[in-house]
Amino acid sequence: MLGREVAVAVGLRSRVLGLALLDRERAGAGLLIPRCRSVHTFGMRFPLDVHFLDEHGRAIAVHRCVPPNRVRSERRAVAVLEIPTPSVASGGELERPPT
């Protein structure tokens, strides 16, 4: 996804926890959560870039640098890609990719 090799959350536990409770190194390149429109960052130890994807795997909304203890949703999404934020930037802004 997006030029990265990421794990796919298939079981209930991996879908509910996502990358929570992991340190940045164990989180790897990220996590793809199919059939998902909403994620939380409760239990996260680092900020995430959250990419909401359409049925073709294209980003329809991106939330950058989402800190712990937040919820982000996109009703049009069919999957979510969680990626550890590479560097600390200011505040989890919403970015809409060009159509």
Q: DSSP characters for 74-97?
A: -TT-SEEEEEE-SS--STT-EE--
Question: pTM of the entire structure?
Answer: 0.81
Rounded distance between C-alpha atoms, residue 56 and residue 34, angstroms:
12
Which pLDDT does position 89 carry in this prediction?
A: 45
**48-76, pLDDT tens digit by residue?**
999 999 999 999 999 999 999 999 999 99
Cβ proximity of 73 and 38 under 8 Å = yes
Which of 75, 40, 71 is closest to 60 using CA atoms?
Answer: 75
Query: What's the pLDDT score for residue 74?
Result: 98
> In the chain, which stretches have pLDDT less than 70?
1-3, 87-99
